[in-house]
């Protein structure tokens, strides 16, 4: 199998736009959760979310093109361009067909769907923009990025709820392993902080209702957790075949050593009891990477701040790692970003790669009341320095779909 490394990173997040701002915010333990400004949420039971605070597409997307892209596509474009620029790659006629794009979203163009549905009801069908369909189709995130960069290789997207970003990176990793491409831009994007989305998740009793304490609302593994917080943004990595990266002297953040996906086959929204599906997925990823459980130093957990997810993920980690589980640092960056749905896995893979590269672990903030049933090392409230050789990035989605990446430090 060909070896695959990460040579570029790009982020749009509630902690800020751009890798430097987001990573510094994560290490500082900052919270990106605030009161909703996208719409009037006064009468909503949930009035908080992780909105991107500083996104300005005017510098990267021409005005005439903005009307063709809903927010999730704009976020994907911004994160992809940052990742591509940071990688130092150049696309030419000689390599264009060996460079691909694999960007997914869990829900996609919901803001545009809600807006143009209102237009249809109020003003009639003739007033619908001809760009409506391309604005909302999830595959157009990959499509628009490939058009912008001239990447003519494999082009695809995952739509697997909260596991989308991780599946996208893992599937792109496989494409390079199979020698179907040398470079893939991969990850996830999402922007669904809308009345319908917030109302829908609230009706499921999935969201935190700490409206009086937005920055304390997302509290993974804490005993007083009461649900997740919707976030938005994009996380894109550049995956590259090792020898290609070596030939051009590229900086390597981490090596993607393994990947696995499976299904709980249990429930539409709840994880399988005791985390059996998640445990199996971690075991499969370790096997794929040729890594023993006691070689793992760190896990970026799915860690949503819901009761069952955090409990069952903790159980799954104990199942896989046994006594070694207590020695593994387990953080949830969702404590700071909220849950970015289809974009979560992309951003968390980036945070994992940076933790491996720099030996710095962002904290799980708002961890104030330990839960006796969640008793691992969750890196509470303050960042930590640690030499990390091997890390996992976990993502588990509605429908019982699971995905795990294994990242390793790269020294040669």
| Catalytic machinery residues | 162, 302, 339
Helix then strand then coil, in percent of the chain rounded to 5, is 40, 20, 35
DSSP code at position 237: E
Distance CA 366, CA 31 (A): 10
- Beta strands at 16-17 and 4-13: parallel, antiparallel or unpaired: antiparallel
Joined together, the tokens standing for residue 152 give 């003519």
Residues 6+ apart with CB under 8 A from 22: 11, 13, 15, 16, 347
| Separation CA 2–CA 22 (nearest Å) | 31
* Residue 367, C-beta contacts closer than 8 angstroms, at least 6 positions apart: 219, 220, 221, 222, 335, 378, 380, 381
CA gap 17, 22 in Å, rounded:
7
**Integer distance in angstroms from the first to the last C-alpha of the chain?**
17
Q: Are the C-beta atoms of residues 52 and 233 closer than 8 Å to each other?
A: yes
For CA atoms 40, 42, 44, 50, the dihedral sign is positive
Which of 243, 245, 320, 308 minimizes the C-alpha distance to 276?
320
Angstrom distance (rounded) from CA 245 to CA 89: 9
Q: Using CB atoms within 10 Å of the CB of residue 360, give its burial: 0 to 12 exposed, 13 to 18 middle, 19+ buried.
A: middle
209: buried, middle or exposed (CB in 10 Å: 19+, 13-18, 0-12)? middle
Spell out the alpha helix ranges (H) of 294-343: 307-321, 334-337
């Amino acid at each position: 199998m060909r070896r695959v490394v990460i040579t570029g990173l790009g982020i749009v997040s509630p902690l800020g736009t751009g890798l430097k701002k987001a990573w510094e915010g994560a290490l500082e333990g900052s919270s990106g959760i605030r009161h909703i400004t996208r719409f009037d949420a006064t009468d909503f039971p949930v009035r908080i979310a992780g909105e991107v605070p500083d996104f300005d597409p005017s510098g990267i997307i021409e005005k005439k093109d903005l009307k063709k892209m809903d927010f999730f596509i704009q976020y994907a474009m911004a994160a992809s361009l940052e990742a591509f620029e940071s990688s130092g790659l150049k696309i030419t006629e000689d390599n264009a067909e060996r460079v691909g794009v694999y960007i997914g979203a869990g829900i996609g163009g919901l803001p545009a769907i809600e807006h143009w549905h209102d237009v249809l009801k109020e003003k009639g069908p003739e007033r619908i923009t001809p760009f409506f369909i391309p604005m909302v189709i999830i595959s157009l995130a990959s499509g628009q990025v490939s058009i912008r960069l001239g990447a003519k290789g494999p082009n695809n997207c995952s739509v697997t709820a909260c596991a989308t970003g991780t599946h996208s990176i893992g599937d792109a990793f496989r494409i390079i392993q199979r020698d179907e491409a040398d470079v893939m831009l991969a990850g996830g994007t999402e922007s669904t902080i809308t009345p319908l989305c917030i109302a829908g998740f609230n009706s499921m009793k999935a969201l935190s209702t700490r409206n009086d304490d937005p920055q304390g609302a997302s509290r993974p593994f804490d005993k007083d957790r009461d649900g997740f917080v919707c976030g938005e943004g994009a996380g894109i990595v550049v995956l590259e075949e090792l020898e290609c990266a070596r030939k051009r002297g590229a900086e390597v953040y981490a090596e993607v050593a393994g990947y696995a996906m499976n299904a709980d086959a249990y429930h539409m929204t709840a994880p399988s009891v005791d985390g059996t599906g998640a445990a199996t997925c971690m075991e499969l990823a370790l096997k794929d990477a040729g890594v023993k459980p006691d070689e793992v130093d760190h896990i970026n957990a799915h860690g949503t701040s819901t009761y069952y997810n955090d409990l069952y993920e903790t159980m799954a980690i104990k199942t896989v790692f046994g006594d070694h589980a207590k020695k593994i640092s387990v953080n949830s960056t969702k404590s700071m970003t909220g849950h970015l749905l289809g974009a979560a896995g992309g951003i968390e893979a980036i945070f994992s790669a940076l933790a491996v590269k720099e030996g710095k672990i962002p904290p799980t903030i708002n961890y104030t009341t330990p839960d006796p049933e969640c008793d691992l090392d969750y890196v509470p409230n303050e960042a930590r320095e640690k030499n990390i050789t091997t890390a996992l990035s976990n993502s588990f989605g509605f429908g019982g779909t699971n995905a795990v990446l294994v990242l390793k430090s790269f020294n040669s």
